[in-house]
Amino acid sequence: MKAIECLKYGGEENLVLSNVKKPTPKDDEVLIKICATSVTTSDVLIRRMKEPLIPRFILQLIFGFGGPRNPILGMVTAGIVESIGKDVSMFEIEDEVFAYGSISTTKHRFGSYAEYICLPEDWNIALKPANLSFEEAAAIPYGGLLASHLLKKTRINKGDKVLIYGASGSIGTMAIQLAKHMGANVTSVCSSRNFELVTSLGSNKMIDYTLENAEKQLETYKYVIDAVGNSKTSKLKKNSKKALTPNGKYISIDDGIPLTPKEAFFNLKSLAEQGKITPVVDSIYPLDKMVEAHKYVEMGHKKGNVVITI
Ligand SMILES: NC(=O)c1ccc[n+]([C@@H]2O[C@H](COP(=O)([O-])OP(=O)(O)OC[C@H]3O[C@@H](n4cnc5c(N)ncnc54)[C@H](OP(=O)(O)O)[C@@H]3O)[C@@H](O)[C@H]2O)c1
């Protein structure tokens, strides 16, 4: 089968189109013919492996020293079940599914930058919402699960003010929609070129972090949700840490290791089916344009998600 392999860490030129052996499902696994995947910020971070020494050591312990243990990156899958192991009971051949290749800190599997992947049936796999295309379905798991992880740390009541920093990215666009679903009054922080997008997702107010004196627009929030983490900051972000109610909480995507449990995955599926969350697709690239897709994601200004069709 065709796959994009990353044989060593470094620049995007290390991503090469290869022919590799098609995987065979174990007894408890499904073989999925992949129709779409996505390039996430985490894929880029792992491919580059340029983090400071201690986080880099931990990442290499998980993903491999010198190069990725599984050279095929990619954790998001949307596709069609082609065959199943003898013990599989939850899926049938020809089921249209979407999946995330991680269910806990110890159970994760790369391999979606390819024509096929095998995943255990009891991981984060579900029937694809019928109202979504494969490309749209591939834009749900990463941002959706990470935003769910952030929102799980809140107790939002109707009308609570929530500031979402990095609102137009894959995590931010899902965080807006999940916070609105919980009843929040959402202020989104992003550049003004993305105001229309975040308004369409339900944002009540917007602040452009690139503007001089943007911090003067801050109000008081029960929660400040930092959806982009420590690598991206601004004067506004520093000031937002002080713009909290007395019992308010600052929650960052970089606080600890995000959990991606099945309940959250199935909740996202259900919300998508009801039209309560809408995946945001910035752009779609074919598999053989993976280098360009990585370059674009690395720039750090995508709107929602970058999807790959296979
Ligand atoms: N700690 C962990 O375990 C963990 C796990 C997964 C992800 N993460 C982190 O989560 C982040 C992934 O987020 P993502 O995929 O949603 O990112 P993304 O899709 O690349 O989105 C980035 C968004 O942030 C905005 N932005 C860029 N620079 C900014 C700045 N200086 N201040 C405010 N906003 C800025 C951009 O908006 P404009 O285009 O409007 O500027 C863009 O829409 C990454 O930074 C990653 O390291 C951490």
Considering the domain architecture, whether residues 14 and 135 belong to the same structural domain is answered as: yes
**pLDDT classification of 89: cutoffs 50, 70, 90:** very high
Tokens 């596709």, residue located: 79
- The residue count of the chain comes to 310
What is the whole-number distance in angstroms between the Cα of residue 302 and the centre of ligand 1? 9
Considering the domain architecture, whether residues 44 and 77 belong to the same structural domain is answered as: yes
Considering the domain architecture, whether residues 131 and 23 belong to the same structural domain is answered as: yes
Considering the domain architecture, whether residues 217 and 284 belong to the same structural domain is answered as: no
Considering the domain architecture, whether residues 210 and 89 belong to the same structural domain is answered as: no
Considering the domain architecture, whether residues 8 and 132 belong to the same structural domain is answered as: yes
Using the predicted structure, report yes or no on whether residue 159 has a pLDDT greater than 90. yes
CB 224 within 8 A of CB 165: yes
Considering the domain architecture, whether residues 125 and 18 belong to the same structural domain is answered as: yes
Query: Of 139, 198, 194, which is closest to residue 170 (Cα–Cα)?
Result: 139
Q: Tell me the best of 38, 39, 41 to mutate to test the pocket of ligand 1, counting ligand atoms within 8 Å of each CB and taking the most.
A: 41
What is the whole-number distance in angstroms between the Cα of residue 3 and the centre of ligand 1? 27
pLDDT tens string 243-282: 999 999 999 999 988 999 999 999 999 999 999 999 999 9
What's the number of domains the chain is made of? 2
Task: Specify the ligand 1 atom closest to the Cα of 191.
Answer: 40
Ligand 1 pocket, Cβ-based, cut-off 6 angstroms: 41-42, 45, 143, 146, 165-166, 168-172, 189-191, 194, 209, 227-229, 231-234, 253-254, 257-258, 300-302
Strand 124-127 vs strand 96-100: parallel, antiparallel, or unpaired? Answer: antiparallel
Is residue 273 domain-resident? no
Using the predicted structure, report yes or no on whether residue 169 has a pLDDT greater than 90. yes
What is the whole-number distance in angstroms between the Cα of residue 215 and the centre of ligand 1? 19
What is the whole-number distance in angstroms between the Cα of residue 111 and the centre of ligand 1? 23
Query: What is the 8-class DSSP label of residue 233?
Result: -
Contacts of 64 (CB under 8 A, 6+ apart): 70
What is the whole-number distance in angstroms between the Cα of residue 1 and the centre of ligand 1? 33
What is the whole-number distance in angstroms between the Cα of residue 101 and the centre of ligand 1? 21
**pLDDT classification of 105: cutoffs 50, 70, 90:** confident
Considering the domain architecture, whether residues 164 and 136 belong to the same structural domain is answered as: no
Domain limits for position 106: 2-140+279-309
Is residue 68 domain-resident? yes
pLDDT tens string 211-220: 999 999 999 9
Instruction: Write the CATH number for 211.
Output: 3.40.50.720
For the chain, give the mean pLDDT: 97
Mean pLDDT value of segment 117-134: 98
Residue 104 is predicted with a pLDDT of: 85
Closest protein CA for atom 47 of ligand 1: 229
Least confident stretch, 171-175, 228-232, 243-247: 228-232
**pLDDT classification of 305: cutoffs 50, 70, 90:** very high
**pLDDT classification of 106: cutoffs 50, 70, 90:** confident
pLDDT tens string 11-69: 999 999 999 999 999 999 999 999 999 999 999 999 999 999 998 999 999 999 999 99
Task: Specify the ligand 1 atom closest to the Cα of 40.
Answer: 15
CA count, 13 A, side-chain hemisphere, 18 = 15
**pLDDT classification of 140: cutoffs 50, 70, 90:** very high
